[in-house]
């Protein structure tokens, strides 16, 4: 059964990390320290399993998490691994040099 915004808002983990499943591999990971992280489990084009982080609740709502999952599924359908793409984008930004004026 898919999650509701009400269930997400009031969900709490008691003693250990807990998963609240939505649909299509999307779930909310609850930590005892009151953290709530959106995760998506998928299989890479090579067949290995991977987990992609989609954001932190309440910064990313249920609707936004589903939209991010759907976008990642479209990338996967086009043969692009969303996890590898994210890593490549971050390294491209980290490898760039910024021009700075001399002080």
pLDDT tens for 9-50 read: 888 878 888 999 998 899 999 988 878 999 999 988 778 899
pLDDT greater than 90 at residue 55: yes
* Cα separation, 38 vs 53, whole angstroms: 6
90 occurs within a structural domain: no
Query: Is the CB of residue 91 less than 8 Å from the CB of residue 98?
Result: no
Structural domain includes residue 99? no
Task: Determine the Cα–Cα distance for residues 11 and 93; give it in Å rounded to an integer.
Answer: 36
Domain span at 41: 5-80
Q: What value does the mean pLDDT of the chain take?
A: 86
Rounded CA gap, 27 and 49, in Å?
Answer: 15
We report the CATH number of the domain holding residue 18 as 3.30.160.390
pLDDT value of position 23: 87
| Domain membership flag for residue 51 | yes
Question: 34 lies in a domain?
Answer: yes
| pLDDT for 75 | 92
Spell out the residues 6+ positions from residue 50 whose beta carbon is closer than 8 angstroms to its own. Answer: 41, 42, 43, 44, 81, 83
């Amino acid at each position: 059964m898919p999650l509701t915004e009400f269930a997400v808002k009031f969900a709490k983990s008691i003693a250990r990390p807990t998963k609240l499943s939505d649909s299509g591999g999307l779930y909310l990971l609850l930590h005892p320290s009151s953290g709530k992280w959106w995760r998506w489990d998928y299989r890479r084009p090579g067949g290995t399993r991977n987990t992609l982080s989609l954001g932190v609740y309440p910064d990313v709502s249920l609707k936004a998490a589903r939209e991010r999952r759907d976008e990642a599924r479209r990338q996967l359908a086009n043969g692009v691994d969303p996890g590898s793409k994210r890593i490549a984008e971050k390294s491209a930004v980290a490898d760039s040099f910024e021009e700075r004026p001399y002080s």
